[in-house]
Amino acid sequence: MAILGKPIAALLLNENATVTIAHSKTVNLSEVVRRADIVVAAVGKPLFVQADWIKEGAVLMDAGYNKGNVGDIDW
């Protein structure tokens, strides 16, 4: 989380956003993601965040880059 997560969280907090930071092993991660208006993925696991986890209208930032030019979000 240190390379991307903390700086992005700080930027969003500066704009008065409510920030939730999750880990790939967070219990009920799909539910946490489903509640998010903005999803920033930097997991380092190809297609880790599933399309059905993302609510309609959410803003996605896929910072993952994996072998085969595949990101972390399957959208």
For the chain, the straight-line distance linking the first and the last C-alpha, in angstroms and rounded, comes to 22
Q: Is-above-0.85 flag for pTM?
A: yes
Structural domains for the chain: 5-62 (3.40.50.720)
Top-confidence residue, 72 or 66 = 72
Task: Tell me the C-alpha distance between 41 and 23, whole Å.
Answer: 10
* Average pLDDT of the chain to the nearest whole number: 93
Task: Tell me the C-alpha distance between 14 and 31, whole Å.
Answer: 25
Strand, helix or coil for residue 6: helix
E strands in 1-75: 38-41, 59-62
